[in-house]
Structure 1
Amino acid sequence: MLFLGTTFFSGSHTLDPPAVHVSPVTEIKLTNGTFDHLYVSKNSEETIESTHNEWNGDTLLSAPFDDSLDAGNSGFSLKNTDVMIVKCREKGSMDWITIHTKDINTIEDFKMLYFYRYARGNTDYEFMLSSTCNGIENSYITREVHSDFNGFFLVNQNNAIGTVYNLDGCDTTRTVSGEAVPLLNSQYAKVVSNGAYNYDTGTVTGVFLKTDTQDCMADLSGGIQLRKDFIDYLTDKTPKILKWDDGRIWMIQIVGTPTDTEEGHKDLRKITFQFAEIGDVRDPKSLYTNGLSPVGVEWW
């Protein structure tokens, strides 16, 4: 017989309290007080005298204020961190690529700002921030980011220059090894491939016009300097990453001679350049050897 959910002690768990769903704590808010330390533990019997910055197996949070509003676990993290690592991958991919590392020696070193310029257009990415201690990775966090832009950009570690005006679409040619050799007593030729090369070449054209950020009017004198800077950038003989808003991306080097020609008006100038593909953007070794990444062999 059941009465108000009770079986009158006949069941082995009749007197047990009902199951209660407890939502995870995601935020702690302190107001109207003066605080020195915030300590959270799984052990409810832990006394207040034990609240310090030394963690144990029950500690969930130990955040000293240290005479500032930046309460956190920096002291503990400093003891357990040698290097901070930033990784990324396209969403759905299984392979993480290390794109940035920073040695941690002081608490100030945790303040890190890094721009990732090699993301493809119209693509979802996952980024990971993790720490290592003695070569072993510790905790990490991940975030998803959607990469999107207009036109094309030519980038390296420190610069990104591009345009959205009067683009030609970037036609490419795939260059592969192979030559047709006619054979005696055979209707068909034999194709002989004596090399492993397989890369793209192409031509890019765009009008480079600088506009004022306030009123969006053309900045004619600024456009002259912009085009000069871009031509200098094209001809510095260093590898670069070329990426288009539709998702195409190549590791390239400029070949031939870039041109700067009029596009129907003396203040509209188009720049045209040719390129050859020299490596794989997704290969950390290729990025490093071509000077496009500082991440060395120990992180590949």
Structure 2
Amino acid sequence: MRGLLLPLLLALAGCATPPGSRDLTVLCHTVDPPVQWGAVSGLSMDRHHLYAVHDHNRPNPEILVLRLTSGEASIVRRLPLLDQAGYLDLEGISRREGSGFWAVSEGRGRQENRLLRIDADGVVAEQVRLPHSVRIHRRKGGFEGVAARGRDPNEEVVVAFQHPWKDDPPGTVKLGRYWPMEKRWELFRYPLDDPRSGLSALAFLPDGRLAVLERDNKPLFRAKIKRIYVVELPHDALPGKPLEKRLLLDLLQWRGHLLQCGTNGKFEGLAAAGPRHLFLVADDDGDASARILELTW
């Protein structure tokens, strides 16, 4: 039914912002040629391109290099990931300053959550695991987004945990910050709007604040929480003290605009081109052609 409903919405309304919206402009970029990406699960960008990854629903993980032109997102390169670890369930990607990427693979069964440093040729050069003292508290939902900034020796990498683990106080979920030069982890507590919601994606804004995509797992037409917040990570983690967050965008205020773009609202990728210029991509679960949403306000 969903496969029929979304094209119908597109045919009736078009993939653009309806008249009368003064606060937010939503542009919908279709993929040329039309493809199903399987399950798009991460998004990042630099000055020239967007970069996307997909999760375990596709057997051969790769980075898709995209160029936006005139409302279309063209795949200009596919970068297969080369590693010896076998199973990868990619749930986020971040372009490194200079060259290469950071990505996260969500743990499943005996597979651990891993932070991956990937070079410009797609070779997994390093796999970073959480300390044992953190891993023992694992439960459903692991790494679900990554954002990086800076260069050595000051590069920092932040990962989002999708849902609370056993050691998290009620109503909070972890953000982890990794310092590559020191090989050191720090953990922060992020306060959720609802214990049933979770984190889906991260992106650093140009001013250094961290944008956090918080959402429930409901389709867009009956969702309760699809929001982007900003937080500032202190220099040192403060045990037990939740971060302060500030609302950047409540996406459900523009529910109709987003539905017209043919998305189900399972947003799993976030990239920032400016303080008021974001890109979103939805996990289509292989059920629809991919679309990238460009938001400006």
TM-score (norm 1): 0.25
Q: Max radius of gyration: which structure?
A: 1
Of structures 1 and 2, the one scoring higher in RCO (CA 8 A, sep 6+) is: 2
TM-score (norm 2): 0.25
